[in-house]
Every structure is written in structure tokens, then in C-alpha cells.
Amino acid sequence: MSRRIFNFGAGPALLPAPVMARVQEELRDWHGSGMSVMEMSHRGKEYQGIIQQAEQDLRDLLAIPDQYRVLFLQGGASLQFAMVPLNLLAGRTAAYVETGVWSRKASQEARRFGLVEIAASNSDGAAEVPPQEQWRLPRDCAYLHIAGNETIDGIEFDFVPELGDIPLVSDASSHLLSRPLPVERFGLIYAGAQKNVGPAGLTLVIVREDLLGRADPHTPTMLDYAVHAREHSMYNTPATFAIYVAGLVFQWLKDLGGLTAMEKINMAKAERLYGAIDDSGGFYRNSVAPRNRSRMNVPFFLHDAALDPLFLEEAQAAGLLQLKGHRLLGGMRASIYNAMPLEGVETLVAFLRDFAARHG
């Protein structure tokens, strides 16, 4: 019997095994059409059925209200760092809450297009989300941007900000579909697909209709949300195969019982892994405030960084892949997205304990 491999990469990340099996089964001939999805015209009836079903299943999972549009775009979350201010600033001031690497990158990009103020930041080194009562918003705030989960720093919001009439914008790349999300509390949500949704190359945008049509007049056509909404994500050729796989992931989640059921599974995995880190007697360390510990991305450090190469070597030999931390943070990081089974986390926990016993 071959050894079971568990991929803890932060993205592109593993996909659910049933989805991969379905893709393999349908790869050369989708439902008797004689074509692979990769070969279909995006405007043909076969593919129109695929993308429409994917959108409906996503709407069902997130209970997306009718006044929101779902866009299947490209360019990753990094392109959204520019698209958001181009479409929403409208000559006013944007506010950003900086909780880690990605929210800081987003605010830096927004400054290319207009005025930006930092409503709150943990740049003083506190590994937590600043409490909302400490935030300072500009008087003419066009929108407030957050990163709901920081993939590198392992910091996740434990609340949805209350902003009144100010649109809330969230980069949800690494936690979308990991738990229920009150879409109606947001003006716009965007996410790169390669964490919990599907293959790299697809970006999801969920935007309230009243925020469309505000783009700066000099905005390139391809960066205008209103254009993509009007053309039903078909202004140009979309990421057809990635959308097809995402649709299968949506179906898989529905079969599991939806996002409430998925959240329970994710909570169990995270509690098991953080418990092993906290119970290691200091051999392993995670410095994020407990209330803001990410359920998706778990960074941790060995008490002696000199052991890092050996840890990674032995982990790979044990079938535990891509545990090296991001180059900006160092240490280790285990990404335990939806598709990571509890068995994978249990195997990692057993390895952590064994390694600590032998090298502590």
C-alpha cells in the first residue's frame, strides 16, 4: 500500500478527493458531449449550464441575497487590490484595517488611485485584530477594507464590523466557504480560488448592485465591475475549467451539509492542531491572540530554529508536505483548508509530538 500524503500548502492547495475523482472521470468527455470542459465554447449551451449551476450553488451555500451579483473573474486577489479602489473610491477616502501582510499590500496598492487612511493596524507587533472601538474612520469614507483571514500571519477576524452605511469590503481568499458568512453585512467580498474554492486562475467577487457603476472614468474596461456584471462574467473568456472545478467543490460542500457542517469540521481540526502546539511545553509556539487564531492557516515556530531543516526533512519523509512557513515570517505553517481531512491533522499532531519527544 502506498503511503498517504497530506499537503499543507497555503495555495494552490489540495482539492477534495471526491472532486478530483469526478474531474478525472469527466475530463475527456463531459456528460456524453464528446468534449472536455477545457475544449468547450464558453458561450455554448453546455458551458452556460455549468457556470449557471455553479453560481446557483454558491448562492445557496452563502445565502447570497438577490441584490448581490456574483462575478467569476481572473487576476487573483492581488488584482482586486486595484479593482476595489478603482470602482469604489469615487473621489473620496478609503479606510483600511491592517492586520497582516495581505491587508498592508491592499492598502499600499489603493494609494495609487486615491486617498487612503489606516483606520487601525497591528503593525506594533500585536498578533491580533484591533478592537473596533479603537478604529478611526475618515469623515468621507468611501468604504472600509479588511482581510478576513491573513494567510501568512494566521490572524482571522472573530467579528464582522458594524459600519452603518459605509460599505464593508473583505478579502476572503483564505476563509471563504470555510464557515457561514453574513453576505448582507458586506458591500463587496472577493477571494482567490486556490485555497477553498478550486484551482488557481479564478477569482470570485460578490458585490452589492448599488456599488456598481461608480468606477473612475479612466478605469480600464476589464477592471470595471459593472461591465462584468452586465455581461454575466462573459465579457471575455472566463477561467472555464477552474469555474467547472469550483462548481464541483460547491456541490461537494452541499452534499456535506453546507457551511454549518463544514465549520464544525474545521473547528475540530483547528482545535486539535492548536492544542498540540499549546501542550508542547514551549517546544512549539503560536503567538496569535487565541480569539484571532486562524482556522485555516496555522503558523508555528520551533523553540530552536536550528531544528527547522531537520523538522521539514522528517515531515516530508512522513508524507507531510509544504509545512515551511512563508519567507516573510519564517518558521512553519500548516494550512488546513476544507479539503484537509481530520486524518491529515491527526497525522501531523502525532508527528509533532514524536519530533518534540526526540529532540526536546
Catalytic residues: 102, 171, 195
Cα–Cα distance measured from residue 289 to residue 293, given in angstroms and rounded to the nearest whole number: 6
Determine the angle formed by the axes of helices 45-62 and 240-256, rounding to 10 degrees: 40
Place of cell 502506498: 2
Of residues 1, 9, 2, 92, the one with CA closest to residue 340: 9
Cα–Cα distance measured from residue 132 to residue 161, given in angstroms and rounded to the nearest whole number: 7
Separate counts of helices (H) and strands (E) for the chain? 9, 14
Torsion sign across C-alpha atoms 147, 148, 152, 154: positive
Does the annotation place 102 within a ligand binding site?
yes
Place of cell 500524503: 5
Does the annotation place 292 within a ligand binding site?
no
Does the annotation place 43 within a ligand binding site?
yes
3-state secondary structure of 115: strand
Q: Strands 297-302, 284-285: parallel, antiparallel or unpaired by DSSP?
A: antiparallel
User: Which phi and psi (to 5°) does residue 206 adopt?
Assistant: -120, 115
Amino acid at 278: D
Does the annotation place 59 within a ligand binding site?
no
CA distances from 4 to 195, 265, 276, 329 (A): 21, 20, 21, 29
Q: Which three cell numbers stand for residue 293?
A: 487564531
Cα–Cα distance measured from residue 279 to residue 15, given in angstroms and rounded to the nearest whole number: 30
Does the annotation place 237 within a ligand binding site?
yes
Q: What element of type H or E holds 276?
A: helix 259-278
Does the annotation place 151 within a ligand binding site?
yes
Does the annotation place 87 within a ligand binding site?
no
Q: Enumerate the known binding-site residues for pyridoxal 5'-phosphate.
A: 77-78, 102, 151, 171, 194, 236-237
Q: Which residues are annotated as a binding site for L-glutamate?
A: 43
Binding residues: 43, 77-78, 102, 151, 171, 194, 236-237
